Structure 1
Amino acid sequence: MRNFYEAGRSVTYGVNGAVATSSTHASQVALTILKSGGNAMDAAIAACAVQCVVDPMQTGIGGDCFALVSMGGSSEIAGLNGSGKAPGALTADFLMGQGFTEMDQNSPHSITVPGAIDAWTRLHEKFGSMAFSDILQPAIDFAENGFVVTQRTSIDWELGVPKLLKNQAASDIYLKNGKAPAAGTIWKLPKLAATLRVIASKGRSAFYDGDIAEKMVASLKAAGGVHEEQDFSSVSADFVGSITSEYQGNTIHQIPPSGQGITTLIMMNILKKYDLSGLDPNGAQRLHIEAEAARLAYLARDKFVADPTKADVPLDMLLSDEFAEQLNSHIDVGKAGDPTGAYALERHRDTIYASVVDGNGNAVSFINSLYMGFGSGIACPDTGVIFQNRGFGFVVDPDHLNCVAPGKRPLHTIIPGMVTRGDQATICYGVMGGGYQPVGHSHVLTNIWDFGMDPQEAIDSPRAFYNAGVLEVEEGIPASVRQELSDMGYQLQDTAMPLGGGQIIMVNPETGVLSAGSESRKDGCALAY
């Protein structure tokens, strides 16, 4: 329970519906959709579309989308992998011939074909209830008539200025006289509004075929890319079953590879071997065990996780208790482990996650991203679309499972989360932050189950992130704890910005009460009624 003598947020409660996003604009739109008769999927897509406008460095229609869905609160969880693939002409041999030994985050070769719009339309066709044009209308209104830039968004926008200045179209669309908008500024995106309006009217085909696709391909070719119109027209999101792990009678659901959701499950399989509940939730011992679980889970991810249609990913082995026990044998409690190779990928502030549960129990865990801030930084001048740089998740090594290849999906960081208990969905959640996300998922869930925190407390709790031998710690970690961690052998580093961003909605299966929490490190909020 919150200490009301301290600054903070209260849990948001409701019974007819709840939404939690990192944007007040998006949360209000999602709640309005629910109140007007739309369901959780309608609200999630509407919220995401709004954030593609008002948080353009975080996400966009030039990015990717993943979702986990429970209809009617069922424990039967549907997943969707809406990540794009490498263009058909992109090979490791081509890149090595161009002098690349690794992927370049700002190169057009890091741009995989955007999967988001295909994902939205497939999710809407299967689970939505409102007209698609009505769902996208709030986003169109914001882009056309203007939106007010919020505080955290203004900071992240400013951080993207050097990247935007490298591309004339991106600079023209997202900067004014070479500068980012300050908080409180009204900003318009008319070209993006026009593109969204065509998509709202004509659906998926308007984005992947015809005039819009032609213009996007032309801009990619002008930047040096090898993309073709066929790469766009062949985009297809995949409905998948979830992969799971058990923790204290709860079933944790994640999207299977090509995403890194399995990393969360590996971490939780290690963590359940410890009695975390007897530890200080913000103490050195808890953060140490979490860091070691992360170190080993990321090592496994980087060795085994890739696009399963192009590589043999040993799911059963990775999720087995035997594998968790094998990893756990490499943890020396009280001592930092060998950091060699434990690289969690870059941590980024640039993703949006929305959690929505409606009055019929439908729950949608929805995540959409450009990867890094403003993605590749390359924009299409005619459509207002800025392209992701998800191809940075590939490696340029023909012997590696995750080597770049035509039509292949890269190792992907964005992961929605869902929890069921018995035959009901009980937690709809996600924690943004690039490579940080598996740690964020594990930290929040163990906050709830081992330390009895409510959804808002679980999100607000101070965070740490182990990455390549460095343990990044937030300001909330006390000096005494930092010293203990340093004495264990960790190299500590203050975080440049707060770690990640989470949203949670918990469902009480007995009363139907929804309890929602929203990330205090972002601009958004949880709303319910």
Structure 2
Amino acid sequence: MLRPTLIALSLLATGATQAADRITDLPFATRSEVIAPHAVAATSQPLATQIALDVMKQGGNAIDAAIAANAALGLMEPVGCGIGGDLYAIVWDAKTQKLYGLNGSGRSPQSLSLKQLKVELAKQKLTAIPPFGPLPVSVPGTVDGWFSLHQRFGKLPMDQILAPTIRYAREGFPVSDVISYYWRRNVQTLIKYPGIREQFTRDGVGPAKGQMWTNPNLANTYEALAKGGRDAFYKGEIARKIAAYMKRNGGYLSEADLAAHKSEWVEPVSVNYRGYDVWELPPNTQGIAALQALNILEGYDFKPGDFGSTTHIHRFVEATKLAFADRARYYADQDFFKTPLKQLLSDEYAADRRKLIDDARAMQTVNAGDVILKQSDTIYLTTADAEGNMVSLIQSNFRGMGSGMAPEDLGFILQDRGQLFALDEGHANVYAPGKRPFQTIIPAFISKDGQPWVSFGLMGGDMQPQGHTQIVMNLIDFGMNLQEAGDAPRIYWDSPQQPTGGTVSDGGTVSLETGFPYRSIQQLLQKRHKISYDLGGYGGYQAIMRLPNGAWAAASESRKDGQAAGY
């Protein structure tokens, strides 16, 4: 029997990675899963994880804990989320034994027409909606998302749920490592926008790792929500301040837009992958791209030893290209364009698309499939409680800290999701007043035989559906445990094609995280793939698994500051 150190050396020789020598769960375990009997939480910031656990120890359920953790992350990780952004969630309700989906995304300003938007862009000599400033701002849906979840499933009063974050906002918390890095980078770009310097820097600089940070403005805002509910945000003084700020700075978001907002309960959609039902939310999100890719990949036979092979990487990338071509053409707000979900997720359609994949070479030009029409940075968290409830929740401002528009005295930044609208009339995702833009943020869930198995998600724009597909394959095809599935090296395919339309014409670029065998990279180059390396562009994963004995396993990857914990 080889000693652990010799095993580690042999793994490095083949390209596998691990953090340290281990005697179990080789080759990709960097640490053990967290296993607990009662409740677990996994978030991208340890203090938020602890808040979620505390809420459940106080009698709250997984839904209360998810809201509390999201509120904390809005304070502690403003580089990825906040109440100026949108929210999506999938909830497994133990009482009804059913999955529920919530679309908490906001709509574009009613007073801004496509014609006027193009006039505004022409004034600035722009041909596309910019990522920053007032024009990409849409209604922030997160707060209504919280109260919609709470009204249907919550147990504790909202003031108790928000209390821990209010305390941290006033007393301060030490900023963690990765968050500090992105915070400092973001403010370099956004500091010219009103409210950023005053509320998100100290003397024009973002906080250093370990620096104590307070946000009394956000504490005041949260206290208003605790007392006045969701209307305090959408119909009260907060709404008036947001609208006045936007008007002063050339924006169109109004009190009427905020007052008209509401979240929407939606039916999650799924495909069956080798006996497991994988669930996503329907458009305007991009979740079904993962389902489309899985449907294509199910036609191949993968074994545990295939991970990292040329065949694994090549087929994954080609399936992703096909799914993303459809994403660019068909994903949009369902109130304006009916995405042909049944056809896109059918086995027959997957089989037709699979025929386009050539195992000998990479596709250089990829178009959307023909169907019959009937006319993102982010945080992800997941919680589970002693009753068996599970929450898969994702929330974002888009592009790190969002638009840069930070209304004075409120302590948060408005999102820039409107940047993802198309400008071409006739496109499914073309800009229109009161329309929800295409969204990149997606929560996910896996069930088996009608029972919950895994709640999971992964951050990072276009990486999200690709990451979802890889996590499912890692768990089901490659036999990894919950922690291994997140720590294994990742694949990220990127191309000039944008969610607002276009065709892949150059095959795109495949970024491979450190850890894939060099021989696989050589063979991918021979198949005409363009190979690159991306530092930090592979997302951030959290997950919870229901074990057969009723206990919980939880995981949080090492690419972020996160923590999985339980009791």
TM range (shorter): over 0.9
Aligned partner letter, 2:509: V
Q: Kindly provide the CA deviation profile for residues 292-347 of structure 1, in whole angstroms up to 9, marking residues without a partner as x.
A: 111110000111110011112111111111111121111111311125579xxxxx
Looking at structure 1, the residues matched to 105 and 231 of structure 2 have their Cα atoms a distance apart, in angstroms, of 17
Q: Secondary structure at the match of 1:276?
A: coil
Looking at structure 2, the residues matched to 382 and 140 of structure 1 have their Cα atoms a distance apart, in angstroms, of 15
Q: Secondary structure at the match of 2:351?
A: helix
Looking at structure 2, the residues matched to 245 and 96 of structure 1 have their Cα atoms a distance apart, in angstroms, of 39
Given candidates 509, 513, 516, the residue that maps to 1:474 is 513
Aligned partner letter, 1:238: E
1:93 equivalenced with 2:76 (yes/no): no
Q: Kindly provide the CA deviation profile for residues 48-67 of structure 1, in whole angstroms up to 9, marking residues without a partner as x.
A: 00000000111000000000
**What is the aligned partner in structure 2 of residue 330 from structure 1?**
356
After superposition, residues 342-381 of structure 1 pair within 5 angstroms as 350-381=377-408
Q: Secondary structure at the match of 2:195?
A: helix
Q: Are the equivalent residues in 1 in contact too, given 2:133–2:404 (CA < 8 A)?
A: no
**How far apart are 1:478 and its partner, in Å?**
3.3
Q: Are the equivalent residues in 1 in contact too, given 2:304–2:479 (CA < 8 A)?
A: no
1:415 equivalenced with 2:442 (yes/no): yes
**Identity across matched positions, percent:** 39
1:506 equivalenced with 2:537 (yes/no): no
1:230 equivalenced with 2:246 (yes/no): no
**What is the aligned partner in structure 2 of residue 258 from structure 1?**
284
Q: Kindly provide the CA deviation profile for residues 91-129 of structure 1, in whole angstroms up to 9, marking residues without a partner as x.
A: 221122232532211131111100000010010000010
Aligned partner letter, 2:565: L
**What is the aligned partner in structure 2 of residue 16 from structure 1?**
38
Given candidates 69, 72, 87, the residue that maps to 1:65 is 87
1:517 equivalenced with 2:558 (yes/no): no
After superposition, residues 75-474 of structure 1 pair within 5 angstroms as 76-98=98-120, 99=122, 100-277=126-303, 279-339=305-365, 350-468=377-495, 469-474=508-513
**How far apart are 1:430 and its partner, in Å?**
0.6
Q: Secondary structure at the match of 2:478?
A: coil
Q: Kindly provide the CA deviation profile for residues 136-157 of structure 1, in whole angstroms up to 9, marking residues without a partner as x.
A: 1111111111111000111111
**How far apart are 1:513 and its partner, in Å?**
1.9
Looking at structure 2, the residues matched to 218 and 3 of structure 1 have their Cα atoms a distance apart, in angstroms, of 51
Q: Kindly provide the CA deviation profile for residues 333-368 of structure 1, in whole angstroms up to 9, marking residues without a partner as x.
A: 1311125579xxxxx5x2111111111110100111
Aligned partner letter, 1:398: E
Aligned partner letter, 1:201: K
**How far apart are 1:162 and its partner, in Å?**
2.1
Between 1:66-75 and 1:134-143, the stretch displaced more is 66-75
1:526 equivalenced with 2:542 (yes/no): no
Aligned partner letter, 2:268: S
Q: Are the equivalent residues in 2 in contact too, given 1:352–1:368 (CA < 8 A)?
A: yes
Looking at structure 2, the residues matched to 476 and 375 of structure 1 have their Cα atoms a distance apart, in angstroms, of 32
Q: Are the equivalent residues in 2 in contact too, given 1:19–1:527 (CA < 8 A)?
A: yes
Q: Are the equivalent residues in 1 in contact too, given 2:187–2:196 (CA < 8 A)?
A: no
Q: Secondary structure at the match of 2:239?
A: helix
Q: Are the equivalent residues in 1 in contact too, given 2:322–2:366 (CA < 8 A)?
A: no
Looking at structure 2, the residues matched to 83 and 207 of structure 1 have their Cα atoms a distance apart, in angstroms, of 15
Q: Are the equivalent residues in 2 in contact too, given 1:59–1:369 (CA < 8 A)?
A: yes
Q: Kindly provide the CA deviation profile for residues 196-254 of structure 1, in whole angstroms up to 9, marking residues without a partner as x.
A: 11111111010011211111111112221111100000110000111110011111111
Looking at structure 2, the residues matched to 482 and 415 of structure 1 have their Cα atoms a distance apart, in angstroms, of 30
Q: Kindly provide the CA deviation profile for residues 389-441 of structure 1, in whole angstroms up to 9, marking residues without a partner as x.
A: 11111111111010010110011011001111112111111111111100000
Given candidates 18, 21, 26, the residue that maps to 1:5 is 21
Equivalenced residues, count: 522
TM-score by length of 1: 0.96
Looking at structure 1, the residues matched to 536 and 174 of structure 2 have their Cα atoms a distance apart, in angstroms, of 23
Report the CA distance shift for 1:74/1:465 in structure 2 as closer, same or farther (over 3 A): farther
Aligned partner letter, 2:442: I
Aligned partner letter, 2:513: E
Looking at structure 2, the residues matched to 3 and 162 of structure 1 have their Cα atoms a distance apart, in angstroms, of 33
Report the CA distance shift for 1:233/1:465 in structure 2 as closer, same or farther (over 3 A): same
Rg bigger for which structure? 2
Report the CA distance shift for 1:414/1:210 in structure 2 as closer, same or farther (over 3 A): same
Report the CA distance shift for 1:97/1:340 in structure 2 as closer, same or farther (over 3 A): farther
Between 1:239-248 and 1:494-503, the stretch displaced more is 494-503
**How far apart are 1:514 and its partner, in Å?**
0.9
Any stretches of 5+ residues in structure 1 without a counterpart? 343-347
Q: Are the equivalent residues in 2 in contact too, given 1:18–1:526 (CA < 8 A)?
A: yes
Aligned partner letter, 2:239: A
Q: Are the equivalent residues in 1 in contact too, given 2:360–2:527 (CA < 8 A)?
A: yes
